[in-house]
Structure 1
Amino acid sequence: MDVLSDLLHRARARTSVAHQLIRRPPWSLTYADAPPLAVVATLGGHASIRFEDATPVRLAAGDLALVRGTGRYTVADDPATPPEVEIRAGRKYFLGGTDVVRANQELAPRSYGDGLPGATVLLRGSYELHGDVAERLLEMLPPLAVVPAGPRTRAALDLLAAEVALDEPGQDAVLGRLLDLVLVLALRAWCADAETALPSWYGALADPAIGAALRLLHADPAHPWTVAGLAAKAGMSRAAFSARFTGRVGEPPLTYLTGWRMALGADLLRDTEATVAAVAREVGYENAFAFSVAFKRVRGVSPSTWRRDQD
């Protein structure tokens, strides 16, 4: 499994939700407590996204935006449209002057608006991502990443939009997988942009030797890896491999491995009842003491204290 796929798999969303707005302007939706990651796309018409005290960003038809973080933001037909609906804790709150019937009319399952000619079609999917591994994924993204319309993302968005309006057996499973597809295609397209500032490890994936080493570390983090062993797998000398890995990734091989193990260990401590010793073995340490020393060096607290603080 490649590194991006591994991150996406391990950061699997607890829940993913998709909704569609089909509404003639003017309209405005404010998300007061947004999830860690959302996908916003305009399938017809146009829209703008604005964070508080930031310049609005325009989305043309077919454009897709990845919105990271839990900050407050507004999606509207135009930046000048006054606030109309605020969504907080999963509930809609209608603000003064809102045509409630027009704004909240249910056109189909998960689809709202008036459905009149000239309507904007807005699709939004949200993710509650999971744990410390998710943080590594989210670190790839700025608060707002816009992916211009393209044939591959458009095909996936059209399929997702069609499924959002259905209510058939297995619908939640279908929507979850289609949202994952849209997310992966958007990440690919955004990362392929020459102007995108990517984490060092992502750029290193293009290096055949270093990319192969990263795949090995992610495929089997509990293996007793050594620099010499990784260098042999890459067909390089130990010194040349170590220098090349550090130059491409930004840190030495075993430092990267330790950070990855600590992220996995933190998620296991948070999400399971496994003992510290069991977690230690799962992520490649012979005993709880060795794991605890490494964990405290990286995280600043012992595994037991960290687990208690998550409650």
Structure 2
Amino acid sequence: MDVLSDLLHRARARNTQIRQLIHRPPWSMTFAEAPPLTVVAALGGHASVRLDDDPEVAPVRLAAGDVALISGIDRYTISDAPDTPPQVVVRGGRKQVIDSGTAARQSLAPRTYGDGLPGATTLLRGAYELRGDVGERLLETLPRLAVVPTEPRTRAALDLLAAEVAREEPGQDAVLNRLLDLLLVLALRAWCARPQAELPSWYRALATPAVGEALRMLHEDPAHRWTVAELAARVGQSRAAFAARFTGVVGEPPLTYLTGWRMALAADLLRDTEETVAAVARAVGYADAFAFSVAFKRARGVSPSGWRRKDGQDGGSGQEG
């Protein structure tokens, strides 16, 4: 499993939400306390996306078939035009109507809301509630705002998602979640394939011979007692050449990356399971619980037991319901 696939698999929470929104202009919705990662796509009509947390980023326009990825933003607005005042604020899953003259939004079908009137814009919005430290690592790899113009592969995935979102059949949530993942990955690929793209380090790493393979091995078996020499031998390079190449592409040496990945996995195991500290240590590659505790405290500033107590006092994973 490659790095992006592994991060998506481990970071995805169960309460992913997918909604179809149908609004006739003028309309505007602000999402406050927004989820960490959102996929917005225009099925018909057009829309404007504005990052309220980052006014230096100009609003972007979505035409039919375009996909926007929004990550690491606490507040953003989707509207028919950049200057349309917010009519509704969504916070914690609840809507607050600001404009009393706003037309009533009603449920039109499963997961489908709006006015359903002629001339309306139809949007798909998929929100990911990412969990824990692995979720944070995933967000670090993503752009804050990326717009992917319509193209054949993303359009095909979008059409499949649009065909399923208003249905209510056995296994529907599983189908929708997998289609949303497909759209996300295809959109990221398309965004990174642009000639002018400034590629994130994870994408450069996956596409770099030897480095991408080494990352795959580290993610597939983080508990293995990896050495730089073994990684280099497995990818067919000298130790020095491999270490230099890995560090140059990823931005940190192989074993530093491995330690960071292990600590992220451990933090989430401590948060989400009742495994003992010794069991968590073994799961992430430490035979000695004491050595693990020292490494964890160095990385997180608190012991594994202290981390678990602190997380419990903070109310679990901190996800919104």
- Give TM class, smaller chain: over 0.9
In structure 2, C-alpha distance between the alignment counterparts of 1:205 and 1:18, rounded to whole Å: 29
Please tell me the residue identity of whatever aligns with 1:12.
R
Tell me: CA distance 1:279–1:194, structure 2 relative to 1, closer, same or farther (3 Å).
farther
Give the alignment of 1:79-94 within 5 angstroms: 79-94=82-97
In structure 2, C-alpha distance between the alignment counterparts of 1:119 and 1:100, rounded to whole Å: 12
Tell me: CA distance 1:197–1:306, structure 2 relative to 1, closer, same or farther (3 Å).
farther
In structure 1, C-alpha distance between the alignment counterparts of 2:177 and 2:238, rounded to whole Å: 44
2:279 corresponds to:
278
Shift of 1:70: 4.6
Give the alignment of 1:36-47 within 5 angstroms: 36-47=36-47
CA shift digits 1:64-89 (9 cap, x unpaired): 11111251111000112122111121
Greater alpha carbon shift after TM alignment, 275-284 vs 287-296: 287-296
In structure 2, C-alpha distance between the alignment counterparts of 1:277 and 1:134, rounded to whole Å: 24
SS in 2 for 1:117: coil
1:303 corresponds to:
304
1:32 corresponds to:
32
2:65 to 62, 66, 84: 62
Scaled by the length of structure 2, what TM-score is found? Answer: 0.91
Tell me: CA distance 1:140–1:98, structure 2 relative to 1, closer, same or farther (3 Å).
farther
Shift of 1:137: 1.1
Please tell me the residue identity of whatever aligns with 1:283.
V
1:217 corresponds to:
218
Greater alpha carbon shift after TM alignment, 37-46 vs 79-88: 79-88
Q: 2:103–2:115: 8 Å Cα contact kept in structure 1?
A: no
2:257 corresponds to:
256
SS in 2 for 1:135: helix
Give the alignment of 1:65-214 within 5 angstroms: 65-101=68-104, 104-214=105-215
Q: 1:42–1:64: 8 Å Cα contact kept in structure 2?
A: yes
CA shift digits 1:157-186 (9 cap, x unpaired): 111112111122222222112111111212
Shift of 1:91: 1.4
In structure 1, C-alpha distance between the alignment counterparts of 2:199 and 2:307, rounded to whole Å: 30
Any stretches of 5+ residues in structure 1 without a counterpart?
Answer: none
In structure 2, C-alpha distance between the alignment counterparts of 1:119 and 1:79, rounded to whole Å: 17
In structure 2, C-alpha distance between the alignment counterparts of 1:204 and 1:112, rounded to whole Å: 41
Any stretches of 5+ residues in structure 2 without a counterpart?
Answer: 313-321
Shift of 1:146: 1.2
Shift of 1:117: 2.5
Shift of 1:195: 3.4
SS in 2 for 1:125: strand
Q: 2:48–2:78: 8 Å Cα contact kept in structure 1?
A: yes
Scaled by the length of structure 1, what TM-score is found? Answer: 0.94
RMSD value over aligned CA atoms?
1.6
Q: 1:140–1:198: 8 Å Cα contact kept in structure 2?
A: no
Shift of 1:45: 0.9
SS in 2 for 1:310: helix
Shift of 1:300: 2.0
1:19 aligns with 2:19: yes
Q: 2:17–2:126: 8 Å Cα contact kept in structure 1?
A: yes
In structure 2, C-alpha distance between the alignment counterparts of 1:294 and 1:142, rounded to whole Å: 30
In structure 1, C-alpha distance between the alignment counterparts of 2:283 and 2:167, rounded to whole Å: 42
In structure 1, C-alpha distance between the alignment counterparts of 2:252 and 2:32, rounded to whole Å: 38
In structure 2, C-alpha distance between the alignment counterparts of 1:302 and 1:197, rounded to whole Å: 38
Q: 2:47–2:79: 8 Å Cα contact kept in structure 1?
A: yes
Give the alignment of 1:221-260 within 5 angstroms: 221-260=222-261
Please tell me the residue identity of whatever aligns with 2:252.
E
SS in 2 for 1:13: coil
Shift of 1:99: 3.3
In structure 1, C-alpha distance between the alignment counterparts of 2:33 and 2:237, rounded to whole Å: 49
Q: 1:14–1:130: 8 Å Cα contact kept in structure 2?
A: no
SS in 2 for 1:205: helix
CA shift digits 1:35-85 (9 cap, x unpaired): 111111111111101122343211111111111125111100011212211
Please tell me the residue identity of whatever aligns with 2:119.
G
